Amino acid sequence: MDEAQLNEVINAFFGPDQVWSSYKIDNGHIHQTWHVEVHSLHRGFAIQQFNESVFTQPELVMGNILEVVAWLAVRDYPMRLPVPRTLPDGHTLFRDSAQQLWRAFPWFAHDYTTTTLTDPDEAFAGAQAFGRLLRTLDGLPSTRLQAVLPHFHDLSHRISQLAKAITEADEQRLQLAKPWLERVKPYFDLANQLAKTHLPLRICHNDAKPANLLWDRHGRVVAVIDFDTIMPNPVWCDFGDMVRSFVSPVAEDETDFELVGVEIEIFQALTAGFFEATGGWLTLPEIQSLADGALGIVLEQAVRFLTDFLEADRYYPIEYETHNLMRAANQITLLEALSDRRQDLLRIIRRSAAHTLL
């Protein structure tokens, strides 16, 4: 991406001859993002180059986002809303002369973002924010949302993709992956167990991780961002993604696996924050699904990273050759740690849920 290309995009969204400055933001595996200050408008924007190989129907993604923000805008939703900028022709996507696709969101002033949470108060506030989003989306007819990524949280489908990748992988990658495949296999039955739960579908964020939260200096969540994958799913999908990304004190690609583990205080705070926002609304079977759902989401992420490693890194960008294998290994280590503490997780969930029902 050169400056002339970004200038073309800025002209399209904000009119010709804008004076602007920008820097690239290193956040997210899928799209590429720039912070752009449009000086003549005295406003900042997040400008994104849209990844069409992941989201092959970009208009459906934008359609979902518009449905969701329109719903939230007239409800009791206390955070900023990522409303996409419209072009003069009313569209929210711009195709530049190099055939790349772009969109723009308002920039929300915030003090920090983070990929890991080490403070229980932050875990509480983060889970409360994702819970609030989930709760406020209740009632939005799911028929108004399109399945932008079919089978996104379909664990059995993810496992069968891994099986296919194993049969097609190059020998060297397969050998490297083998020990981790052996360690993850015992958990595959979780897919069947979770498939049997028959829970109501809720409108989930589906990427409920700290990197999708913006914070102010008082530890309050300014905004939940990245509405690309908002789709109906069982509630454990969002709870599970939070567990996956909150409870371990290190990033998902940390290679010192000794550091990967479950900070039980963080889990406790996360659970309390989540029930603070959703308590009394969730059904008992949903509450009972949360612990195994969390294990399921960690398993799913491990399977996705492992599949991508075996498929020679088609999906997730990598910084070194075994990056996806290391990400998978990290997630398998976390899965084992969570599984060891399953009884504690269940007890904490039960207590927390009881508390909100009183």
Q: How far is CA 28 from CA 114, 121, 225, 239, 281, in A?
A: 12, 24, 11, 20, 31
Q: Which residue is nearest to ligand GN1 (CB)?
A: 30
In terms of DSSP H, where are the helices of the chain? 3-14, 58-73, 120-136, 155-168, 171-184, 189-195, 236-246, 264-278, 284-310, 323-340, 342-357
Nearest CA among 129, 47, 29 for reference residue 94: 47
Binding mask 85-114 for Mg ion (x = CB under 5 A): ------------------------------
Nearest distance from residue 343's CB to ligand GN1, in Å? 26
Please report where in the chains the tokens 């015992």 appear, as a residue: 186
Nearest distance from residue 53's CB to ligand GN1, in Å? 11
Give the one residue of 226, 263, 292, 308 binding ligand GN1; rule: CB under 6 A.
226
Nearest distance from residue 82's CB to Mg ion, in Å? 12
d(CA 306, CA 326): 9
Residues numbered 195 to 224 that lie near Mg ion (CB under 5 A) are 207
Query: For 5, which DSSP code?
Result: H
Q: Which lies closer to ligand GN1 via its Cβ, residue 31 or residue 268?
A: 31
Binding mask 190-209 for ligand GN1 (x = CB under 6 A): -----------------x--
SS3 182: helix
Q: Which lies closer to ligand GN1 via its Cβ, residue 38 or residue 294?
A: 294
Give the one residue of 67, 252, 254, 292 binding ligand GN1; rule: CB under 6 A.
252
Q: Is 351 among the residues that bind ligand GN1 (CB under 6 A)?
A: no
Nearest distance from residue 295's CB to ligand GN1, in Å? 15
SS3 254: coil
Pairing of strands 231-233, 202-204: antiparallel
Residues numbered 2 to 61 that lie near ligand GN1 (CB under 6 A) are 28-30, 54
Nearest distance from residue 9's CB to ligand GN1, in Å? 20
Binding mask 226-265 for Mg ion (x = CB under 5 A): x---------------------------------------
**Structure token digits, residue 54:** 């992941």
Binding mask 274-313 for ligand GN1 (x = CB under 6 A): ---------------------------x------------
Query: For 259, which DSSP code?
Result: G
Nearest CA among 206, 196, 183 for reference residue 156: 196
Nearest distance from residue 30's CB to Mg ion, in Å? 6
Nearest CA among 197, 200, 198 for reference residue 281: 200
Q: Which residue is nearest to Mg ion (CB)?
A: 207
